[in-house]
Amino acid sequence: MAFLKESEHSFRDDLSNIDEKGKRKWIFPTKPKGKFTRARYWLSYFYFALFFGLPFLRIHGKPVLLFNIPEGKFIIFGAIFWPQDFFIFGLIMVAAILAIALFTMAYGRIFCGWICPQTIFLESLFRRIEYLIDGDAARQRWLRKQAWTPKKAGKRILKHSLFLLISLLIANTFLAYIIGTAALFELMTEPIAQHLGGFMAILVFTGVFYGVFAFLRELVCTNICPYGRLQSVLLDKDSIVVAYDYKRGEPKAKFRKVQGDAGDCIDCDQCVKVCPTGIDIRNGTQLECVNCTACIDACDAMMKNINRPLGLIRYDSENNIAEGKKSTFSPKLKAYTAALLAIIMGIAVLLFNSENVDGSIIRSAGMLYQERGTDSISNLYNIKFINKTFDQFDLTLQLEDRQGTIAMVGKQEITMKPESQGASNFFIVLPRSALQNRKEKLKVGVYQNGKLVLYLKTTFLGPMPQRS
Ligand code: SF4
Ligand code: SF4
């Protein structure tokens, strides 16, 4: 791309947020305005309500989401997952990584701009508080250079107190997802000495969130986040990205009315000024771009002012722009989207089809078989169950698909307390005539209130069958 040559040296060799001496250059993005910014603010209100509200929502008296890592118990939309279910999590992790890779190949960094909590909290909450207290970019720059005055100190104290308070709120909510709201309430109301671990966790989380949103900011996206680093291998020329239409925009000229052959870009630099990572999107797709769309809004406003079509910067693929094509849902994009939907459905099936009861049967160690009268043989078994629900119920066993009976040792039913494990012993008794081999495979049905909830498989040992 010929137009890039001139600027290639500067944008490839320098980082937008580091000066010549290698020191952090603070970025003061101009407050964005426009339809994309408005849409993201509205979406962020929904996310905030979800994030701060979900720990308080209950299904059958239990949290909708709980990731209790210390106790190895997870609740996702009311379904409990125990350490025994971790293979499901393993599969979900693999599927999720695949889904993220496919999503990025197709839609670039849309996740960063529209879903990632880092962008949502920073751009829709912390940055807006900053604009409110310190003013827009020029005012912030000016304030930073000023000597300390009571007014500046007051603004700084107010801003950072609010940042700390919100970070504390986020930290508490975050912890509520791990230990639950009841435990969090205890932690907040009881003496610190009784909850030293929890108290330390809140301090650490608060410090991390405050550090990230007040100081680290775009460095998280440009230097720390592994997903951001993966972009260079995941994106291709068909991926949808925030892109500058250089075919339409070049050659850029400040006085396009005078220069009749100039492109639509009037080199106003508004797209650079609003960029929270400080880059110039006209240099092409860059790792630093978090797809926040601020430059789209800024450029659309300029296009409106000079009476040119909107979308000089827009969501599009590099190939579409190079070929001057209208944005299309290409076959490649369709294939990626179909694969992505299949993976998401697979994850949903795994999550919502997990059994409420899980169990295993093993034949009692050290015992072969017992003769029962002249015509029957029995084996002794141990059975273990996990009740993954919050309800108490009884389980009964039944031998499936063959002649024979099950004789429980003790009570006929196995009573399962909520979120607990249960065990029992039982005999399977088979008539000699039903034994074809020394070792037979059997299927035991587990019934809850007369309804089959689980099949368990086991083996039955008998004497060598008499061959006639
Ligand atoms: S280039 Fe545009 S979309 Fe990318 S981070 Fe900067 S302002 Fe946001
Ligand atoms: S905002 Fe649009 S017109 Fe202004 S410099 Fe950026 S691309 Fe060019």
Tens digits of per-residue pLDDT, 308-344? Answer: 999 999 999 999 999 987 766 677 778 878 888 888 8
Mean pLDDT across 68-96? 77
pLDDT band at 345 (very low <50, low <70, confident <90, very high): confident
Ligand 2 center to 227 CA (angstroms): 28
Higher pLDDT, 147 or 100: 147
- Given a contact cutoff of 8 angstroms between Cβ atoms, the answer to whether 240 and 322 are in contact is no
pLDDT of 247 strictly over 90: yes
Q: Whose CA is nearest to atom 6 of ligand 2?
A: 271
pLDDT attached to residue 3: 47
Q: Measured from the CA of 295, which atom of ligand 2 is nearest?
A: 1
Q: Tell me the per-residue pLDDT of 103-156, one tens digit each, with 9 for 90 and over.
A: 888 888 899 999 999 999 999 999 999 999 999 999 999 999 999 999 999 999
Query: Who contacts 94 (Cβ-Cβ below 8 Å, separation ≥6)?
Result: none
Per the prediction, the chain carries an average pLDDT of 88
- Here the tokens at position 366 are 């050290």
pLDDT of 292 strictly over 80: yes
Ligand 2 center to 303 CA (angstroms): 8
Q: Whose CA is nearest to atom 6 of ligand 1?
A: 275
Taking the domains of the chain in order of start, what are their residue ranges?
A: 1-354, 357-461
**Portion of the chain with pLDDT greater than 70, in percent:** 94
pLDDT of 6 strictly over 70: no
Q: Measured from the CA of 290, which atom of ligand 1 is nearest?
A: 5
pLDDT attached to residue 295: 98
Q: 357-461 belongs to which homologous superfamily?
A: Immunoglobulins (2.60.40.10)
pLDDT attached to residue 2: 41
Ligand 1 center to 299 CA (angstroms): 11
- Here the tokens at position 224 are 């720390």
pLDDT of 91 strictly over 60: yes
> How far, CA to CA in Å, does 341 sit from each of 105, 114, 348?
14, 19, 10
Q: Which of 212-226, 261-275, 304-318, 341-355 has the lowest mean pLDDT?
A: 341-355
Ligand 1 center to 273 CA (angstroms): 10
Q: Whose CA is nearest to atom 7 of ligand 2?
A: 265
**For ligand 1, which residues put their CB under 6 angstroms from it?**
242, 274-277, 279, 281, 289-295
pLDDT attached to residue 173: 97
Higher pLDDT, 222 or 95: 222
Ligand 1 center to 328 CA (angstroms): 22
Query: What is the SS3 assignment for the chain?
Result: CHHHHHHHHHHHHCCCCECCCCCECCCCCCCCCCHHHHHHHHHHHHHHHHHHHHHHCEECCEECEEEECCCCEEEECCEEECHHHHHHHHHHHHHHHHHHHHHHHHHCCHHHHHCCHHHHHHHHHHHHHHHHHHCCHHHHHHHHHCCCCHHHHHHHHHHHHHHHHHHHHHHHHHHHHHHCHHHHHHHHHCCHHHHHHHHHHHHHHHHHHHHHHHHHCHHHHHHHCHHHHHHHHHCCCCCCEEEECHHHHCCCCCCCCCCCCCCCCCCCCHHHHCCCCCCCHHHCCCCCCCCCCHHHHHHHHHHHHCCCCCCCEEEECHHHHHCCCCCCCCHHHHHHHHHHHHHHHHHHHHHHCCCCEEEEEEECCCCCCEEECCCEEEEEEEEEEEECCCCCEEEEEEEECCCCEEEECCCCCEEECCCCEEEEEEEEEEEHHHCCCCEEEEEEEEEECCEEEEEEEEEEECCCCCCC
Question: The tokens 């039955």 sit on which residue?
Answer: 460
pLDDT attached to residue 221: 93
Q: Measured from the CA of 288, which atom of ligand 1 is nearest?
A: 5
Q: Which of 8-22, 117-131, 282-296 has the lowest mean pLDDT?
A: 8-22
Q: Whose CA is nearest to atom 8 of ligand 2?
A: 265
Q: Tell me the per-residue pLDDT of 163-201, one tens digit each, with 9 for 90 and over.
A: 999 999 999 999 999 999 999 999 999 998 888 999 999
Ligand 1 center to 27 CA (angstroms): 13
Ligand 1 center to 453 CA (angstroms): 53
pLDDT attached to residue 413: 87
pLDDT attached to residue 467: 59
Cα separation, 171 vs 165, in Å, equals 10
Query: Which of 30, 244, 292, 316 to probe ligand 1 with, by most ligand atoms within 8 A of CB?
Result: 292
> How far does Cα 183 stand from its chain's mean position?
24
Nearest-ligand number for the alpha carbon of 246: 2
Q: Tell me the per-residue pLDDT of 421-457, one tens digit each, with 9 for 90 and over.
A: 888 999 999 998 888 888 889 999 999 988 898 899 9
pLDDT band at 1 (very low <50, low <70, confident <90, very high): very low
**For ligand 2, which residues put their CB under 6 angstroms from it?**
244, 249, 265-271, 282, 298-299, 302, 312-313
Ligand 2 center to 269 CA (angstroms): 6
Q: Whose CA is nearest to atom 4 of ligand 2?
A: 268
pLDDT band at 5 (very low <50, low <70, confident <90, very high): low
Cα separation, 430 vs 399, in Å, equals 10
Query: Which of 255, 313, 316 to probe ligand 2 with, by most ligand atoms within 8 A of CB?
Result: 313
pTM, rounded to two decimals: 0.79
Ligand 2 center to 468 CA (angstroms): 94
Q: Whose CA is nearest to atom 5 of ligand 1?
A: 289
